[in-house]
Each structure stands twice: as structure tokens, then as C-alpha cells.
Structure 1
Amino acid sequence: MTARPSPELLIHAAAALLAAGSLGVTLWSGLDERPAALAFGVLITVGELTRWTGARVREAAPLGAAGALSYALLGADAGRPTEHGVAQIVTVVFAASLLGSVPHIARGQGPFLDHLARRVLTVAFAAICFQPLYNRGVFGEWVGPAYALLLLALLALTALCDCVLAAALARSRTGWPFGPLLRDELRALLGIGSAVCATGAVMALAVAVVGLWALPVFSLPLLLTQLSFKRYAAVRTTYRQTIVSLARATEIAGYTPAGHARRVAELSRAVGRDLGLTRPELTVLEYAALMHDIGQLSLVDPVPAGATAVLPAAEQLRIALLGGAVVRQTGVDAAVAVVVERQADPYREQPVAARIVRAVNAYEEKVQGAGPGGPLTALEELRLATAGDYAPEVVESLARVLARDCLTLPMAG
């Protein structure tokens, strides 16, 4: 049976064919309205050069995205109708995005091919929806607010298209469910995505009235917004580093094995992804998993190897409540403290995040020093305990995640 190509390969191939075809058409027919092409090309290049890296953001180059979308929806330049077509728009955006990405490629930062493929395909979508109809005079009677609403509607459709592409690429790379990934992408549009769409529409409208001088003027608000997002991302990074440092306190004090909290957090986040948790829920889950053992710091005698899963239920509950009290005193989100407190409750009474932390922590403790067959044995023990201790759906999700990580584990029939 012939394997079907992955969505990632199809998206990259479609973007490459579109970019190559557009480049060929542009080289054959020549570049129309070179000042506008140069101005937008420089704007997109600068936007890509100022792209931020390292932060979990939906649009890493908002200025470049806004410039590309405004060029795709450009109908006039200082009152004169434009003549550039879809092929030229794709060519300029592709060349400028590629040029601006060179320093990032050299430093090996970010999924470059995904970023470039999304940029080419979304810009082509917007241009195809707008340019042929505009050049035929279909929008000739659309003036004032009606024309602005038209551009915003096209940008909204383009943003939806980009969300689908981003979710499909993430699904192909990670194997996570498509629905939650798409939902996260749509939620992210309320942040920097809305600023990009609004700036793209304003730029297109402003250039139509006052010409290309509008580009640097209307780029400033988005640059300031990008700076604010960078600062916010830096704060979030510092916040997470603080939580990681607190979580390592149990390891430094000798209560838990080295790297235990990190491993539980990584595996818990993967299970949460598989179960369809949203991005905010995953953040709470990750922080709770990092700090799930912090209650052991209140114990006079350490638990052997930090293995709380084998303790009596009353002792597990006491440690969990002590941990929740410690988390509350640190100023961390109260939702994290709730998960830490309830990780020892009966699973039918637990929130989903607490169910995940409980099962993953038990699995991690069981595989430590268990040899090559440890993962298989640990998973079977968890399955046998699903009647009272662990949520069956969490255990089976854990099996799926481990199977994707190339561990030989039996799947539920």
C-alpha cells in the first residue's frame, strides 16, 4: 500500500510551485510599478529581519505579515489604480521574506520552511480573492466604509486560511489532534493576529490615498505593539524560569531524582495535547507538573526515591495539600495550586490536569531503574489500576504519546 504524502509535504510543495511559477511569470512579463514593489519589498524584509524568536507567539514577524497582506490588497497608489497582478505580489513577498530570513536561517532559528510556505500561500489567497476582481472594476462602486469593510473581510478570510495551514503543519509534525491545534490558532488571532489584519487594511487604504509615504507612518503602531509583545514574552519567560527553579528545589534537597519534574512536565504536556487541552490549560498543566512534588519539602523524612505513587492514599493527600499550600505562597496562578492539591484525589473527582499529572508521575516513577522492559511494565500496571487509581482515557493517551515517541507499547484494542 502506497503511503500518502504528509500535509507538511503537500503544503511545502504547493508553496514552492506557486513561488516558482510566479517568479517565472514576473521574469517573463517584467516588474510593474517598481517603486511600489520596492517599497513593499523593503517593508517586508525589515519585518522579517525584526522577527522575534524564542517566544511562543503565533506571528513572529507581524510587520512583515502586515506589509505582505497590504500589498496583496493594494488597489491604488495615491489615487492611481495599480496594475500589478497576483504573480508579481507573490514574487515580491517571497523574495523579500526569503531575504529577510537569511540571518535567522544562518542562526538556525525557527521552522523557516513552514513560515515561508504559510506566507506565500496566504498572500496568494488574499491576492487571488482581490486583484482580479479589482482590476475588472467589480469594486469600483465600493467607497468609504464599504471598501474598508471589504478589505477587513478579505483579511479575516485570509487569517482563517493561515490558521488552517498552521494547524495542519503542526498536526503533521507532532501528530497532535487537528481540532485543538486549530482552536489554539483561532484563539491567537485575538492577539497579535488582529493587529496584523488591522494594520494591513490601514496600510492598503492609506497608500491608496496618500501614496507610499504612508508605509513608514503606519508601520510605527505595529512596531510598538511588537515591542510590547516582546516585553510580555520576556516576562512570561522569567515567570516560567522562576517556576522551574522552584521545582528543582526538591531535586537539590535530595527529595526527588534529578530531572524528574522536567520529565513529568514534558510528558504531561504531550498527554494534554493529545487529549485536546487548550493552550492556557496546557500552561497550567505544565506548571503544576513541574511543581507537583514540592509538598515533599515539608516532610521530615524524605520518601525513598521520591516515589509518592506507592504511598498510602492518606499520605499522598497530605503531601499534595502541603504542595498546594506552598504553591499558593509563591504567588503562582491559583489554578496551578488547585491541580497540585487535587493530584491525590480519586480520579473521578479530579480535574483533567490533575488526572494527567497523577498518571504521568506514577509512570515516571515506575520506569526509573526498571530496565529495558520498564516502560511496558509500567504502562500495564497503570492500565490494571484504571478501575480506581488512574483515569482510563489518560492512560490510553499516555500510551499513544509513548508510541509516537517510538517506544514499543501495545495500543488499546
Structure 2
Amino acid sequence: MNAHRPLLLGLVHTCAGLLAVGSLAVTLWTGLEGRGAALAFGVLVAAGEGTRWNGARLREAAPLAAAGALSYALLGADAGQPTRHGVAQVVTVVLTASLLGSVPHIARGQGPTLDHLARRVLTVGFVAVCFQPLYNRGLIADWVGPAYALLLLALLTLTALCDAVLAAALAHARTGWPFVPVLRDELRAVPGIGTAVIATGAVMALAVAVVGLWALPVFCVPLLLAQLSFRRYAAVRATYRQTIASLARATEIAGYTPCGHARRVAALSQAVGRDLGLTEPELTVLEYAALMHDIGQLSLVDPVPAGATAALPEAEQRRIALLGGAVVRQTGVDPRVAVVVERQADPYGEQPLAARIVRAVNAYEEKARDGGPGGPLKALEELRLATGGEFAPEVVESLARVLARNRGVTRWGYPQAFRYWEPRLRGAGGDGRAV
């Protein structure tokens, strides 16, 4: 890690820890206000954490818990009666409920990370600080009807944006990925499940203010159904990725390429693509294309020795690439994947960025694999010498940055980021999320 990255990570965790400890101390000193509401919202948050999904890399794996926590932070009245709980009690209840709801996951070795808990504490604390003092001091007592509802939505929207910045900062600190592209992906994810969380949090706070705590089980049902639907969608995508990964292994099973070659190229291509600022949809296309970049070799009568296509004549490389693109088109995969596969042997000035990345990373993997102990450094130097006409200079420099940023490397010089991507490429379970 760079020096500022562990500092940033420590700063976020320290702030969350101080807020949690301070809130717990204040709550123990003053006691609970509105114990019924605290218990009801605590049960809701705990249930949401209990149903969190660890099977995919999701921005919000426990949307029900997030909505319940935000709703409690914005709770002003309970069945028409004003509440008096403050910021400290909100943070204490949400943190305690989150930990209790995570016990089953912790028992299975899938508990929430410190980053997840830090985000939960800081975002809930932020919205509570914005709302609770205003309500308890009567500064918004005259805000009724649409004005009050818009205030809650505005606070929740601001909180969602702050949470996106926090998530991007944690991802940057953990992985070294460029902050701006990660933040852009986080912001693009907000209108999805984030919108449902915001809307549900506001509606539950408004409903409890009018009809009381019985509104909670009624208004959390739509979000729970949305969460189940999202699970099914994510499961379909995971199956789709597993199918592509299995298809990519056909060249290994047939003896055309070394074992694990496609996965290694895909993992390093992902890291380079993220360094260059590709979006999540573009990274998905890049991943699939990197996995299937050698599929055209199945049409060869005589296998290329060790599957090293980078050393073949340009015309032969192009023929294999075109055959591979034709195979990919027959599989029903996104046509953009076929374009990347069939154009990976074109001059880099005519290639899309994803094809440039696959070409350079594939050549690096082949050269590093056969170069012995000094293979990675020698391979990178050869790629730099060939940037005049064979490999895109910006891709080679990005590859160098990725390798330099992750000084701990595997046998072939692959960055520690490979440990993050490999379970996804295998289609394995687990959270996999870096934040």
C-alpha cells in the first residue's frame, strides 16, 4: 500500500470507532428514550443484517437493515407523539442490532467487515446529526406535509452521496484502485438499490410518525421483495459468469493453453482496466473477453506450443482472433465481447481499449510464464520496447503501475488484486467485496 492508503483506512475506522464508543457511553449514562421504538427498529435492523446476502459483490448487501437504520435516524414522532432519542442512541441501537444480526454470518465465517460496520456507523451518525438536533429543538416543528417529506428525502439523498464517497475511499484504500473511477461506479449504483433504500427509509419514518410502530412490518415488505428479486437477478448473472468461465476452460482441457492461463489474463486485465478508469459494465465485457481470448485456438489442427499466440506471425494471430470472435458470437454472449476477441490482433491504434488491454496482458502472461525467476521484469521490459507499434503505450504503463502498486506478487508476478478477482472468475461464493 502507498503511505496515504493505510492512513486513510485508519482514519475512517478511528472516526467510526470514536463515534461508536462515545455514543455507547452517552447512552449508558442517560438511558434509553422510547424503548419500544428502540426495540422495534433494533429488531428490524437485526433482521435485515440476518438476511444480508454474502453470495455476490453487492454495493448494499443488507438493504433492509440500511433502510431501517436510516429510518430510525430520521424518526421524529411515534404515532403523533414526539420522540426524544438523540444521535447517540441512534448510533448505539443500530450498531448493536447490526452486530446481533451478524452473529449467524460470523458463525459461518462470513461476518461483515470492519469497513461495512464503519460505513454503517458513519452514515447513520451523519443523518442523525443532520436531523435529530433540528427536531429535538423544535426548529422544524412548523414543517408539515410535503415540506417535511422533502426534508427527509433531501437528507437521505445527501447521506447516500456521502456513503458513496466513503465506500469509494475505502475501496481505494484497500485495493489502490483510482479513486475517481471507483467513486463514479459507486454513484452510478445509487439509483439502483440505493433509491429503494432511500425511499423506504423516508416512507417508514413518515408512516411511524402517523400510525406508530405497526407501520414497520407493512412498509418494509416492498424492500424485502425487491431484495429477493435482486438476489435472483444476481444469481442468474453468477451462473452466466460460471458458464463463460467453464467455456473458457475448453482450451485448457483440450491441451491448447496452460492451466489457469485464461483466469490469470482475466484477473490482470481487470486490474489494468480499473486502473485506466473503465466502468463496471466495461470491466465485465473486458473480463469475459479476456476469459475467452484464446477460444479460437480450438479451430487449429495443431496446437500452438504452450498456447503462446503472442509469438505467432501477425496474420496467424489475426486468423485465430477472428475465429475466436466467430465462436463467441455463436454462444450468445454480449456482442461487444466478440468484438474485443476478434480485434485483439489488430494494430493497437485501431483497437478498442479492451482489446488493447487483453493483447498486452496476454503477451505479458506468456512471456513472464516462460521467463523463469526474472520473467515478470523481462516481460514488462519487452512490452515497453514494443510500444512503438505492437502494444498501446498507455496500457503497458498501466500494467507497470498495477504491478508496482502491488509489490507482493504471485509466482508469475501477478498482483495481490488477483486474490480478489480469482473467486469471481471461478464463480465461487463469498462476499468478495473489497470494502
Q: 1:377-396 residue pairs with structure 2 within 5 A? A: 377-396=378-397
Report if aligned partners of 1:41, 1:92 keep a CA contact under 8 Å in 2: yes
Q: In 2, distance between residues paired with 1:118 and 1:45?
A: 16
TM-score of the superposed pair, with normalisation by structure 2? 0.92
- How far 1:110 moved relative to its partner? 5.7
Structure 2 CA distance, aligned partners of 1:117 and 1:259?
Answer: 36
C-alpha distance in structure 1 between counterparts of 2:31 and 2:139, whole Å: 26
TM-score normalized with structure 1 length: 0.97
Structure 2 counterpart SS, 1:372: helix
Q: Deviations over 1:211-239 (max 9, x none)?
A: 00000001110110000010011100100
Secondary structure of 2:310's counterpart equals: helix
Q: Is the 8 A contact 2:106 2:112 kept in 1?
A: no
Partner in structure 2 of residue 268 of structure 1: 269
Paired position in structure 2 for 1:30: 31
After superposition, where does 1:213-228 map in structure 2 within 5 Å?
213-228=214-229
How many angstroms apart in 2 are the aligned matches of 1:127 and 1:36?
15
Partner of 2:94: 93
CA distance in 2, matches of 1:116, 1:129: 20
Consecutive unaligned residues in structure 2, runs of 5 or more: 414-435
Output one character per residue of 1:303-323: Cα deviation in whole Å (capped at 9) or x when no partner: 111111111111111111111
Q: Which position in structure 2 is the counterpart of 1:208?
A: 209
User: Which stretch shifts more, 319-328 or 134-143?
Assistant: 134-143
Q: Matched residues in 1 for 2:344 and 2:150: separation?
A: 50
**Which residue of 1 is the match for residue 376 of structure 2?**
375
Determine the structure 1 residue equivalent to 2:425.
Answer: none
Q: Provide the residue aligned with 2:9 in structure 1.
A: 8
1:39-90 deviations in whole A, cap 9, x for unaligned? 0000000000000012121100000000000000011100111110001001
**How far apart, CA to CA, are the structure 2 residues paired with 1:277 and 1:8?**
24
2:120 partner letter: R
Partner of 1:400: 401
Aligned equivalents of 1:352, 1:110: Cα separation in 2 = 38
Q: How does 1:333-348 map to 2 (within 5 A)?
A: 333-348=334-349
CA distance in 2, matches of 1:258, 1:148: 58
Counterpart of 1:54 in structure 2: which amino acid?
G
Q: RCO (CA 8 Å, sep 6+): is it higher in 1 or 2?
A: 2
RMSD: 1.2
Contact kept in structure 2, 1:266 and 1:286, CA below 8 Å: yes
d(CA) in 2 for partners of 1:407, 1:204: 48
CA distance in 2, matches of 1:240, 1:110: 25
Q: Mean alpha-carbon deviation: is it higher for 367-376 or for 290-299?
A: 367-376
3-state SS of 1:254 partner: coil
For the residue of structure 2 that corresponds to 1:343, the secondary structure is coil
Q: How does 1:129-208 map to 2 (within 5 A)?
A: 129-208=130-209
Letter in 2 for 1:133: L
Q: Where does residue 250 of structure 2 map in the other structure?
A: 249
Is structure 2 residue 304 aligned with structure 1 residue 280?
no
Paired-residue identity, %: 82
Task: State the Cα deviation string for residues 260-309 of structure 1 (Å, max 9, x = none).
Answer: 00000000000011111111110100000000000111111111111111
The 1:243–1:159 alpha-carbon spacing in structure 2 relative to 1, beyond 3 Å, is same
The answer to whether the 8 Å contact 2:256/2:306 transfers is yes
Q: Distance in 1 between matches of 2:109 and 2:168?
A: 22
**Using the alignment, how far apart are the partners of 2:170 and 2:109 within structure 1?**
19
Q: What one-letter code is carried by the residue in structure 1 that aligns with 2:331?
A: T
Residues 102 and 111, structure 2, Cα contact 8 Å, conserved in 1: no
- Number of equivalenced pairs: 407
Unaligned runs of 5+ in 1: none
Which residue pairs with 1:319 in the alignment? 320
SS of equivalent residue, structure 1 residue 317: helix
